[in-house]
Structures are given as structure tokens and as C-alpha cells.
Copies of this chain bind each other. A is one copy, B any other.
Amino acid sequence: MNKLETIEQVRKYVGEARKAGRRIGFVPTMGALHEGHRSLMRAARAACDEVIVSIFVNPTQFGPGEDFERYPRPLEADLAACREEGVGAAFCPSVAEMYPPDSVTTVTVSRLTEGLCGAHRPGHFNGVTTVVTKLFNIVQPDVAFFGQKDAQQAAVIRRMVRDLCMPVEIVVCPTVREPDGLAISSRNSYLSAGERAQALSLSAALRWAEAQVRAGQRDVESLVREMRRQIDAAGPCGIDYIEIVDADDLRPKAVVEGRCLIALAVRIGNTRLIDNMVVEG
């Protein structure tokens, strides 16, 4: 497994893989790799000849007061995880490598970034779309893998790729959960035991709503109201949003019809958790 630190090194590595006609799969990450990331690496291995993972805690997607400084950076364990999953190269650039002085170019996806997390994290998705564009241009993958856990991010990246005609296929893999239902996240490590228990209310509320939709309930307002009640009842928390939107274009729905995304973001203690499920109405 190759650890690459400069753009130049990646270009050389990728150039050789391309020359050999190898299909390149790419998994962009911020490190602190867990089972969710590993599932993406496995999907990439299954679909491609060569898997490249990037590990980069991207400062431009964190807002002021967010957790950029304390975000976990267990680099040795991350590299070991990549090795175990058969990754060919891990790209671990410095911030200076990714953002030379006087960087003035950004990629912006409007509309899809305005609701859900975008409404609560101004600038976040500009940071995401810009860094993902850069990483795509550096790695030039045939396919890139993202997690459904970050549903809005996945929808935004898909739209960006379509709008800018980027020559890359986007694959979105299912959310990986703990046995008790908690969506796996690098930020779960921030939770105390009590907060960890309380956090189960998120996936429980989503499962409840999913069952309601299966049973024929279509009214968004009453679904959201009851989910809010359940999550509030589990303990003190701040609900950033609970919403039901179109799964592709993220427009808010009044009635569950077609592929819909039930998405939520809840702050428990100092930790902001997100989760979602796709339902068919």
C-alpha cells in the first residue's frame, strides 16, 4: 500500500495505472476510518482494478465553531485499515498541498445545498464540492464511492458531476449501522455512554417513520411531528431539522410520494449527528 503525500505523486501513480488500462475506484474520506468507509473500499475493490483512498480533513468544509481542530486523525490506524482492505494508494495531503496561497476558485451547487444541513452549516457544501472537484481532478477516477449516511452530500455531488459533465461515475453505498441501529460515524467517538444511548432515538424514529410509510401513512407533517416528539422524549437535545424531501433533488415534500429521503440532524451534548432513510411512497 502506497502512502502518497503530494499531488505530483498521485498523478504519477494514477498515470501508470491508467496506462496499464486499470479501472480506478476512488474513496474520498476525512480519515477516522470505520466500517462505513470500509464498506466503500470493498465496493470499490469489487468494481475496480485499483482503489485509491484520500485521507484529508478538509478545513474549508468546517464552519467557525465547528469541530475541525478536534476531528479525530488516527493516521496510522487509517493506513492499516486501507492496507487491510486492499487499497492501492492512500493520498494524505497537507492543507498547504491542497490549498496553495491565493486559492480563489470555488465550485458551488446552489438550491440542493440550501436546505437540510446546508441551512445549518453555511459554506459547508461549497467546501465539499470544491475539495471533491480537486480530488477528482487529481485522482481522475473512473468511479467514486460515497456513503448514503451523508445523503445530502451524495445528492449534491451527483448533481455537480452531472452539471459539470465530470467524467466519473458516482456510486452511493448504504449506511452502515451498529447492531443496535446507530449509524456509524467518526463523530460517534465524541459521545459519552449516556449520549450514545440517547442517540439511538435517531435511528429508532427513522425506523418508526419507515414502518408508518410502509403501512400507508403519507402525511409529512404528522410523520415529522411524531418523530420530533420521540427524539425530544429521549433526552435533552437540539433538533437542527427533521425533514422529508425528494431523494434526488431534495425539494421538501408535503406528501410522501416517489423516492423520498427522511433526513435529520440532532445535537446531543456537543456532538451533531445526522441520519436518514430512503422510503418509497
| A residues whose Cβ falls under 8 Å from a Cβ of B | 7, 11, 100, 102-112, 129-130, 133-134, 137-138, 140, 159-160, 162-167, 249
Residue of B105, B109, B134, B167 near A137 (CB, 8 A) is B167
Please, how many angstroms separate the alpha-carbon atoms of A129 and B107 in the complex? 10
- A161 shortest CB reach to chain B, Å: 9
For A134, the closest partner residue in chain B by CB is B165
Q: Pull 19 A–B residue pairs with CB atoms less than 8 Å apart, ordered by A.
A: A7-B165, A11-B167, A100-B163, A103-B163, A104-B109, A104-B110, A104-B112, A104-B163, A105-B107, A105-B108, A105-B129, A105-B163, A105-B164, A107-B164, A130-B164, A134-B164, A137-B166, A138-B165, A138-B167
Main secondary structure of the interface of A (DSSP, over half): mixed
Chain B residues lying within 8 Å of A109, measured Cβ to Cβ, are 104-105
For A129, the closest partner residue in chain B by CB is B105
Chain B residues lying within 8 Å of A130, measured Cβ to Cβ, are 164
Please, how many angstroms separate the alpha-carbon atoms of A167 and B165 in the complex? 15
Residue of B102, B112, B140, B164 near A133 (CB, 8 A) is B164
Residue of B102, B111, B140 near A104 (CB, 8 A) is B111
